[in-house]
Structure 1
Amino acid sequence: MRSSDIIRSIIILLLFSIIYSSIIVSDTILDMNKEWAKYRCNPLFMPFASAFGHSNIDNFKYCVSKISNNNMPDLMGPTKLNIDLLGKMGGNLNTNITSSNGFVSMFRDNIMNSFGSIYGILMGVIAEFYKLSVSMKDVLGKTIGVTRTLVYTLEGSITTMESANDTAFMRSLRKISKLKGKSKGCFSGDTKIKLNTGDYKRIDEIEINDTLEYDTHVLATMKITNITPGTSDMISSVYMIPNGDNDDILVTGSHLIYDNVLGKFVCVRDYRDSIKTKRCLDVVYCLITDNHTIPIGEYIFHDWEDTPNKSKDIVR
């Protein structure tokens, strides 16, 4: 048998195989086209929608819309743009694949031209896959950018909240919340307090900017009820502390007084020289000073902001 006969036999077998394969593919395409709704969003068939008589771009948009349900349209805008690009690339790829149908007729005419067409198709497919990889890289980069933007936005929000939490307003709110429900100590209105001039004033007559002894400046004065609203019950019991010629001091038991023996502030009710009385003070008075102390006679009391670690060193 001559070599030319062998070549012709091979060519005939190839042609038969191609024709047979084309028939099988055509039947498969017809079957799938009947059930297109079932397969149209399958990733394996989406790029070849035009082969089933449907637009690649329209089919791709339908599937994307079905999957995403129109969630986050603004955030997914860049991704949608790239998806459209992928759809166009799929259309180009499908066009190249469709153009390969002409390869059968060209193969019958000229084997060399057929090989040239195959080479061109392969190069076209490679080029499209390269474009696809570049587009996917771009989509990934934009997704990372959006994610970073969200992270930076969250970090900025957290920083803003932390900054707002550290403002004077928030500190005041926290301070007020700590004071809520806390029983503050106060004095009877006729309690006499010595000024830096040597004169005495009742505490209910003390004014803002008065200067007490030991150069203690008055920042605020307060008049406070000692009766629980809606009842006749006192909020704080009244204690008496002897004060020599300056009259006894009537003060609520929750007020803080400096104990020279212990070297710290203690509640009046726990002070060794205090005596609990049955006196009822409907209204009590207190001060806020620059050093958070109120000197009365031989005693040092804390002011309204009775947190011991706020007061300055006791100097007598």
Structure 2
Amino acid sequence: MDTIPETFTSYFNKIYSKKTYLDKYGGSVIGTAVSLLIFFCIFSYFYVQSKMDPIRQNWANERCKPEVMPFAGLINAPKGTSKMTYTAENFTKCTVGILSEVVQYFTSPLYYLSDMVSNFYLMLMKVVQAFRSLAFYLRMKVMKIIEYMVARIYNVMIPVQRLFIKLKDTLKKTEGIMVTGLYTVFSTYLALKAFIGSFLQILIIILIIIVAVIIALWILPFTWPAAAALTAFFLLLAIPVGIVAGHMGHILNITSKSVPNKPGCFDKNTQIATKNGFQNISNIKSGTILKNGDRVTASFKIVNSNDMYNFNNIIISGTHKVLHDIKGWVFIKDHPESIKIENYYEPYIYCLSTESKRININNYKFLDWDDIEPVDVIKLKNLDYLQTYSPLSDIHKFLESGIDGNSLIELDEGNEIKLKDVQVNDILRGGERVLATVEIDTKNISYIRKYYFNGFEIIGAPNLHICDADLGNFNTLDKFGKVIDRPQKLYHLITNNGFFIINGIRVRDYNSAIENILDIRDKLYALS
């Protein structure tokens, strides 16, 4: 423990205070090295002097030897170049050559590895190229196969396509023939109905005249024989006419015009499936999109004066029509699954019009407010109010009725209010009672016009029915008016007498829009 120095400084001083070999013999070593160097130089000089000519003759191989390099300028300096300069140049050249050989020797493994890697990637590239060539070959073959198949299919499809075109054309022609035939049969039916009706009317008039003559003949005693004969003739004529009239009335449905049914509608809590979920029918506004994509074109709020029925948990008036699987369109009151509600006290019921003219509730299909059945569509097309291939939505587009909500209407009390503010059960100036208010969506109506009639004006949809003592009785379908920007909504009323006065013009109520058009056909072809 005593040999351990007390500090690092004393330790290092002790180490470096010892004398090394060079400290003792450094002078001798240096002297020996200098002597050897001098001896090497002298020896080399005399060696070179003795080998001068052979070295010069083999200069390319001798120039870089260690014993020759220091004397290169002395041995073989070119003319015009100093011996020292040439010696330096030779030394530099030899050094570079030797280093090049050494570097080449040491880097040859790296070059070998790089060559192997290059060859590997070259082979890999060739393999990839081979796969690409194979893929290209396969692709071309597949393309040729597909082209061949497409060509064959094309060759087959062209005749098939022509066949389908001809088939489509044939079906269209068949459809046209069937539609024409249907219209022809329907027109024949209506013409026959009108002819028989007119013929029966003539016979009835003749019978009435005969009755009047018979009564006159029975007054005077001397004309009783003639009266008896005429009475017998009357009976011979009246009995067959009565039988024919009865059978024709049964077969051709020849009946007198009857009062239209009361509006058919739903309870306020009836659930309707819309695009945004189920809603009460009382909350549905015109323009609402239903779940099946149908659009509500009009919404109705109606005073309740109907018998109401429970039809599979749907509260509905008896005069509404539902599609029966066997019987077709039948009134709810006539449907076997309907149960009459004896005590129903709701003051208002509600209904809708849609573009499809149908209302779907709980997988049951009901007619909308307009009660448009297939035969009515045929009538509208036969009267040229609709095109042959018009969809049902064209009824709303071209035949909708409605009046601007800002139009003024006078109440029985003498004050004027806007049409859109009229309420159910309001009494109007002429004593009309409002049975229903109608809100109409204008988005898909063909146009909204401002009509001018002898100083009066009215804004509305295409199909307004005027029935005014001064203006006449007509609708606006064939009248010109100024097309204006459409309001978002139009409005209308249904009254107890079918009329009301607005902006000083007496108009028919909403029900006249379709009913009056269909009544044209009835007036032309039905018995009055």
Q: Please classify the TM superposition score into its range, dividing by the shorter chain length.
A: 0.3 to 0.5
What is the TM-score when the length of structure 1 is the normalising length? Answer: 0.36
- Higher alpha-carbon Rg: 2
